[in-house]
């Protein structure tokens, strides 16, 4: 996994709460493999009115935000379906950080697996950043994971991120390698558990 330390770039405001993963990636694209370029269909039904007819009102279609690296949204971003492909679509588009007051639980877990930072600020701060960006669309925002702050124009905001996730992003750790180092403990647990909770093994008859 790619490490995350700092990131500077255009930041696109999505002034909506409860942006769900069905919006981020509509279900009909869930058949696509990663290699097919899910970034093309990120936010598809909000970005496009018909097949190739862009919706000029959707922020990502505005010239200043087309190459956004950061999204700023209202609370509960990424709620709903567990589809990790929503995160793939964001990453493939070039987004590496989402700033919002809160995130869907599963989404935030999927994000860290793919090197996408979910930076939590307060409701008021998110609203303020959205206003700043709307007034100055070309403003580049700097996100520093080490110091946990966001610089937006002459304003600096602290953000929170789960410390475990922060460490993983900073180090680019891979979960599976980490788990492999606990192989002995897992094996021991399994043996003991099979004995203590024999009922937990599915009945063979099925």
Binding site for another protein (CB under 8 A): 16-18, 20, 22-23, 26-28, 30-31, 33-34, 45, 74-76, 79-85, 87, 102-106, 109-110, 113-114, 127, 162-164, 167, 175-176, 178-180, 182, 185-186, 189-190, 193, 197-203, 205-206
Least distance CB 126 / another protein (angstroms)? 11
- Residues 148, 18: Cα–Cα separation, whole Å: 24
Of 68 and 76, which has the nearer Cβ to another protein? 76
Of 97 and 106, which has the nearer Cβ to another protein? 106
Of 10 and 89, which has the nearer Cβ to another protein? 89
Least distance CB 28 / another protein (angstroms)? 6
Sequential DSSP letters for 13-25: EE--SS-BHHHHS
Least distance CB 58 / another protein (angstroms)? 13
Compute and round to an integer the Cα radius of gyration of the chain. 20
Phi, psi dihedral angles at 132 (to 5 degrees): -55, -45
Of 69 and 168, which has the nearer Cβ to another protein? 168
Least distance CB 26 / another protein (angstroms)? 6
Dmax of the chain from CA atoms? 67
Name every residue whose Cβ is closer than 8 Å to that of residue 32 and which is 6 or more positions away in sequence: 38, 41, 85
Least distance CB 6 / another protein (angstroms)? 22
Of 84 and 92, which has the nearer Cβ to another protein? 84
Torsion angle defined by CA atoms of residues 73, 30, 168 and 188, in that order, rounded to the nearest 10 degrees: 140
Report the alpha-carbon angle 193-197-203, nearest 5. Answer: 115
């Amino acid at each position: 996994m790619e490490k995350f330390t700092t990131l500077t770039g255009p930041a696109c405001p999505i002034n909506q709460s409860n942006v769900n993963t069905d919006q981020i990636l509509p279900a009909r694209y869930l058949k696509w493999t990663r290699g097919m370029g899910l970034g093309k269909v990120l936010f598809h039904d909000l970005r496009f009115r018909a097949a190739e007819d862009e919706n000029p009102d959707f922020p990502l279609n505005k010239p200043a935000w087309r190459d956004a690296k950061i999204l700023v949204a209202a609370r509960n971003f990424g709620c709903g379906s567990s589809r990790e492909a929503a995160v793939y679509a964001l990453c493939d588009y070039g987004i590496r950080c989402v700033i919002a007051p809160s995130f869907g639980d599963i989404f935030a877990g999927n994000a860290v697996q793919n090197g996408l930072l979910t930076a939590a600020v307060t409701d008021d701060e998110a609203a303020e950043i959205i206003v700043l960006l709307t007034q100055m669309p070309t403003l580049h925002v700097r996100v520093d994971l080490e110091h946990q702050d966001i610089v937006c124009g002459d304003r600096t905001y602290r953000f929170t991120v789960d410390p475990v996730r922060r460490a993983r992003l900073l180090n680019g750790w891979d979960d599976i390698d980490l788990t492999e180092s606990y192989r002995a403990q897992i094996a021991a647990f399994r043996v003991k558990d099979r004995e203590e909770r024999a009922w937990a093994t599915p009945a063979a008859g099925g």
